[in-house]
Structure 1
Amino acid sequence: MLTTTAIAHLHRHQDALSVLIDQITALLAGDPEAARLPLAGVRWSIARKAREYQLFKHTEIFDPAIVRGRPAQAALAADLRRACLTVSGEYEAHIRRWAGRDTVIEWAAYRGDVVAMVSRLRRHLLVERQQVERLLAGSEQVRCLA
């Protein structure tokens, strides 16, 4: 895959996740009862989209750079891969923490937890975008980094 294509795919995945995150933020500003079902739907949409994004970046960017990149590229890709797995685990823990609980009754705690998770996701996406662009700088193809 050409580096420019990989970066374009990365941006599309991140932009789609950002739209979903914006939907959560908007729902948190409304009525808790009215937000209950839409929030559940968006949470699962984020989980599905994040998994799709994770498979893309690990397969097309991180793993090839770890295997075939110069030492600095391999180290950065390994760091990015670990950070990705960490934030994925945090999001999965967030989902598990609230599964089966009444978010309307616990709205203040739920809302605070969601705001913190959304902030974490936004920060991760921003840093990851910058670091992946740095990783791929000067590479014509993702799978030919060496």
Structure 2
Amino acid sequence: MASLDQQAVSYVARAQMMVDRARKLVIADRVDTIDLLANRRQCLGEHFKLYQVFKHTKIFNPIVEFGAGSSKIVARSMKMDCLELGETYRAYVDRWLRLKPQEWRSYQRDMLAIAEVLSTHLATELTSMKQLLTISQFYRR
């Protein structure tokens, strides 16, 4: 079985790949892919749900319960950031649930903005999770 670190990397890599593929279609001005993009938003949302369950149950919650003082604070903060971003992403999906071709320009701006937020968050979160896992391994010794 893969380590928690490796599992987190895998979740983040898949999410980033999904974001990047959609971003390329939007940058290429592919209005003809509206239905595909709707499907991809849903797939990404489902992937984020699995990732959220993983990181909360396997990383954040155990560290909040058993970790060192400063790690607990970081893990709690990361949990809150995760939940907040989840709400932001759900609102984005809801906004564009029935995207029409005449709304493309607004969607394009919004999609590129959320893609940047997601990419930045994923990278930062992965780095922080790796640090938390390293610290927790140190304290187990």
Q: Which TM-score band (shorter chain)?
A: over 0.9
Aligned equivalent of 1:44, options 42, 45, 53: 42
**Structure 1 pair 145–51 and aligned structure 2 pair: CA distance change class (3 A):** farther
Native 8 Å contact 1:24 1:42 kept in 2: yes
Are residues 1:122 and 2:116 paired?
no
Aligned equivalent of 2:14, options 16, 22, 32: 16
TM-score, length basis structure 1:
0.89
| Alpha-carbon distance in structure 2 between the residues aligned to 1:38 and 1:99 | 12
Match of 1:105 in 2: 102
Question: Following TM superposition, by how much is the alpha carbon of 1:111 offset from its aligned partner in structure 2, in angstroms?
Answer: 0.3
TM-score, length basis structure 2:
0.92
| Alpha-carbon distance in structure 1 between the residues aligned to 2:108 and 2:9 | 28
Match of 2:66 in 1: 68
| Aligned residue pairs, count | 141
| Alpha-carbon distance in structure 2 between the residues aligned to 1:68 and 1:115 | 39
Between the aligned residues of both structures, percent identity stands at 26
| Alpha-carbon distance in structure 2 between the residues aligned to 1:34 and 1:101 | 12
Aligned equivalent of 2:134, options 110, 128, 137: 137
Match of 1:86 in 2: 84
Kindly indicate which of the two structures has a greater share of residues assigned to helix: 2
SS of 1:137's equivalent?
Answer: helix
Native 8 Å contact 1:68 1:145 kept in 2: no
Query: What is the CA RMSD across the aligned residues, in angstroms?
Result: 2.0
| Alpha-carbon distance in structure 1 between the residues aligned to 2:97 and 2:140 | 42
Native 8 Å contact 1:32 1:107 kept in 2: no
